[in-house]
Structure 1
Amino acid sequence: MHKIITLTLIACACLSRVDAKRKVIIDQDAFEGPGMQPMLMLLQSPDVEVLGITTVSGDGWQPEETARTLRMLELIDRTDIPVIGGATYPLVNSKALTELREQRYGKLGYKGAWTETWPTSDEMTRADYHGPDVIPPFEEGHPSIQPSPGTAAEFMIEQTLKYPGEVTIIAMGPMTNLALAQRLDYKFASRVKELSLMGGNFNRPLYTKHSSFALQSAYAPRMSFNYIWDPEAAHIVHTSPFPKITLVTGDSSEKIFGTQALLDQIASSGSKVAQYVDQIAKAGFPLWDEVQAAVWLHPDIVTASNTVWIGVDTMPGPNYGAILTWPEESTPGLGERPVEVIYSVDPDSMADLFVDLLSR
């Protein structure tokens, strides 16, 4: 009898582990259509529990990103997901400091929310420049719901205390919220199961045509936007005791785009998510953050990766914010962490996953 009960308990425990959803916090800087797509991939994954979405300035300003994310959740009937506003400005860096460095060392092709003008010859389009307190009209309308109280850093700390060792944070933008959480609670990083980051280009050739989004990383491949927006935050993150860090590089999404053909496949399903994507998507955008989401969801799509130790240059010169890499035996020993760097994925598997999740 005792043996039967024991076996039953073991079986129940195993089933519980199998059925348990993977817990994730999405930390994103999306202020326009394509930035919503990777979040939707995670929201649409049946084995994933999105604990919340935190926002951080980067590609756009945090208040606008927060409003856009709330409206997206309204339109797909997922208002159960809390949205928590995070950092509006970097820890140290600023628009004025960036412009001063440009005078001394040359223009940056892309400055995120600080980008005032966009090349008319570029195939990509961008919303008009505005300050951090402006929330412009959205084609899909403004949200009627409000963000959750508190800050992104406080939410991250709270959730990792509630689920120690169970929460993955997928940070798709600059790392300001993560750095603030670590400075508020020095044990925060050690409670995170895994940290997924996006940035860096290591193999992009100079002789191919690049959009303005990608131009600066082609000529200075270690100067990745998510790092140069807030170098001090990136330094804090890469010297904090996260048990596992994965960096999905821009190389991994090379020649992987949200083509019109893929978007048409999604739209044909007619689901609420597909209808939303059909409204906000822009054909031709590289699937940067979408690849990041896919790598975490299905690591088997990775075709090339390596473990390196990463640091960040915080000296106020031409390489401010540059990604520094070493093999283990060559690190300076200042707290650098091993990082699994993803260089490429299978493009067909990526396309299939993108269409499948956004068609549901």
Structure 2
Amino acid sequence: MRLLATLLALLLTIGLAHADTPRRKVIIDDEGFALMHLMLLEAPDVDVLGITTVTGNAWANRATAMALRGLEIARRTDVPVVQGATYPLLNSEGLTDRWEALYGKLTWKGAWMKQWVEPTQQSTPPYFGPNDPVDLPEGNPTTKARDEIAANFLIRMVRQYPGEVTIIAAGPLTNLALAQRLDPAFASLAKELVYMGGSLNPRQALDNRAAADFAREFVNTPRREFNIRFDPEAASIVARSPWKAITVVPVDPSTGTQRSKALLDRMAKSASPDLASFIAALEPGFPLWDEIAAGVWLDPTLVTDQQTLYVDYNSQFGPGYGDMLSWFAPYRPGLGEQPATVIRTIDATRLETLMVRLMANSRPK
């Protein structure tokens, strides 16, 4: 009996210690709602302070509606959604058309995408204008976004919780650049920045058609990636801001991953009925770009290779506009570049396992 009482006391002490452990605060800055958001929302040790939206793959108004509806499906309407920048700082659809006439076609143009340059396995998204009405296939949200600007929300949160807020950005970095220009202390008040963007030298790592479709983009343009290319000026501002820590997830590790039908089926089987229907309706075949960013933050042991590099982005309107620039410390130009942990490879199998496991947290207890 004494041994049993001791064990019970020990378990109680461990449970109380776990309960007293502060949850990690995070803001998700992105252009929609998908698996990355669900991973962070379902992680038991994470407090999602809010989702800020930005134009990237979709216009900001559409991204906001997607985030609101996704939170409704996930039964997490307690998380605020704050709409951000509709347009990049300088880049535009017209400038991109002019750039393509001079330097060649871009593979993906996000909200400006009208058709693929060549046949591809992925569907072509419908084209909308920045102020077109939003009618989502998964149903329109009944909740509303906060009456605030994303850049102001970001500043307010890092000032409310100095040194505690991680920002995970998975779209163009326009909101973060605006926040930094509005408040020069913004980056230094955050705990860290984790962002999916940039490209070093990706190579096809999976032997299937979908993987080949994506990997071909980098054969002749190894340093170009959409999130950065959409707003290169914002990316350069953010890369040179005084963050306490920066983790960059470039395209490179994503070529060994895929949102396969098998993975979606496993996640749907693990999730609650509402989330299962949402997950099952997602289009397969894409790499796990944003999910890697969430995964390596949740579990850094997923990383199998990383480097410390000084990073910036080319903001000169020319053939290398938006390309990633990187240096080892002795070679950097010294114009404010910050050291960043750049993720080169990850354990894709363990990432999938983590994703499936997190979806199980959505089931009613």
What's the TM-score once normalised by structure 2's chain length?
Answer: 0.89
| 1:206 Cα deviation from its structure 2 partner | 7.7
Secondary structure in 1 matching 2:82: strand
Q: Deviations over 1:216-249 (max 9, x none)?
A: 3332121111111111101110111001000012
**Matches of residues 207-218 of structure 1 in structure 2 within 5 Å?**
213-218=214-219
Contact 2:268 2:280 in 1 (8 A): no
- Of residues 138, 142, 159, the one that matches 2:140 is 142
**2:102 alignment counterpart:** 104
Corresponding residue of 1:351: 352
Q: Residues 275 and 205 from structure 1, CA distance in 2 versus in 1: closer, same or farther, beyond 3 angstroms? A: closer
Matched, 1:194 2:192: yes
* Mean CA deviation greater in 239-248 or 14-23: 14-23
2:330 maps to 1:329: yes
Name the structure 2 match of 1:91.
Answer: 89
User: In the TM superposition, what is the alpha-carbon distance from 1:265 to its structure 2 partner?
Assistant: 1.6
Amino acid at match of 1:28: D
Cα offset, 1:116, TM superposition: 1.1
Tell me if structure 2 keeps the 8 A contact 1:76–1:276.
no
Change in Cα spacing, 1:276 to 1:161, as seen in structure 2 (3 Å) is: farther
Q: Which amino acid aligns with 1:90?
A: P
How far apart are the structure 1 equivalents of 2:57 and 2:42?
24
- Tell me the residue number matched to 1:26: 28
SS at the partner of 1:268? Answer: helix
Whether 1:271 aligns to 2:272 is: yes
Q: What amino acid maps onto 2:161 in structure 1?
A: Y
CA distance in 2: counterparts of 1:242 and 1:270, whole angstroms: 35
Shift of 1:275: 2.1
- Structure 1's consecutive aligned runs of 4 or more residues displaced over 6 angstroms after TM superposition are 206-209
Shift of 1:329: 1.0
Distance (whole Å) between structure 2 residues aligned to residue 300 and residue 117 of structure 1: 39
Deviation at 1:326, TM superposition (A): 0.8
CA contact (8 A) 1:105 1:318 kept: yes
Q: Unpaired runs of 5+ in structure 2? A: 1-12
Map residues 232-243 of structure 1 onto 2, 5 A cutoff: 232-243=233-244
Q: Which amino acid aligns with 1:69?
A: A
Other structure's SS at 1:169 match: strand
Corresponding residue SS for 1:123? coil
State whether structure 2 residue 252 is matched by structure 1 residue 254. Answer: no
Aligned residue type for 1:251 = D
**3-state DSSP class of the match of 2:153?**
helix
Q: CA deviation at 1:19?
A: 1.6
Q: Distance in 1 between matches of 2:271 and 2:308?
A: 42
Equivalent pair of 1:37/1:277 in contact (CA under 8 Å): no
**Structure 1 length as normaliser, TM-score?**
0.90
Secondary structure in 2 matching 1:60:
coil
Partner of 1:230: 231
Q: Which amino acid in structure 2 is aligned with residue 314 of structure 1?
A: S
- Residues 1:340 and 1:253: Cα distance change in structure 2 (over 3 Å): same
**Equivalent residues in 2 for 1:148-159, closer than 5 Å:** 148-159=146-157
More off after superposition, 199-208 vs 97-106: 199-208
Do the aligned partners of 2:202 and 2:253 also contact (CA within 8 Å) in 1? no
CA distance in 1, matches of 2:100, 2:125: 23
| Distance in 1 between residues matched to 2:213 and 2:86, nearest whole Å | 24
**Contact (CA 8 Å) 1:86, 1:153: kept in 2 or not?**
yes
Shift of residue 135 of structure 1? 3.7
1:61 is aligned to 2:59: yes
CA distances 1:118-158 after superposition (whole Å, capped 9, x unpaired): 35731111321111112443222100111011111001000
Of the structure 1 ranges 96-105 and 126-135, higher mean CA displacement relative to structure 2 is found in: 126-135
Distance 1:84 1:287 in 2: 25
Cα drift, residue 16 of structure 1 = 7.8
Count of equivalent residues: 345
- Following the alignment from structure 1 to structure 2, what is the Cα–Cα distance between the partners of residues 58 and 231? 12
Contact 1:273 1:359 in 2 (8 A): no
Cα-Cα RMSD: 2.1
Which residue in 2 is equivalent to 1:4?
none
Distance 2:56 2:250 in 1: 17
Change (3 A) 1:17 1:186: farther
How far the C-alpha of 1:354 sits from its partner, in A, is: 1.3
Q: Give the letter aligned to residue 249 of structure 1.
A: P
Q: What is the identity, as a one-letter code, of the residue corresponding to 2:98?
A: L
Which residue does the alignment assign to 1:118?
116
Counterpart residue identity of residue 84, structure 2: G
Contact 1:228 1:320 in 2 (8 A): yes
Point out where structure 1 has 5 or more consecutive residues left out of the alignment.
1-10
% identical aligned pairs: 45
* Contact kept in structure 2, 1:153 and 1:180, CA below 8 Å: yes
Aligned counterparts of 1:299 and 1:143: Cα–Cα separation in 2: 34
In structure 1, the residue corresponding to 2:145 is in which secondary structure?
coil
What is the Cα deviation at residue 267 of structure 1?
2.0
Q: Give me the whole-angstrom Cα distance separating, in 1, the residues matched to 2:156 and 2:213.
A: 39
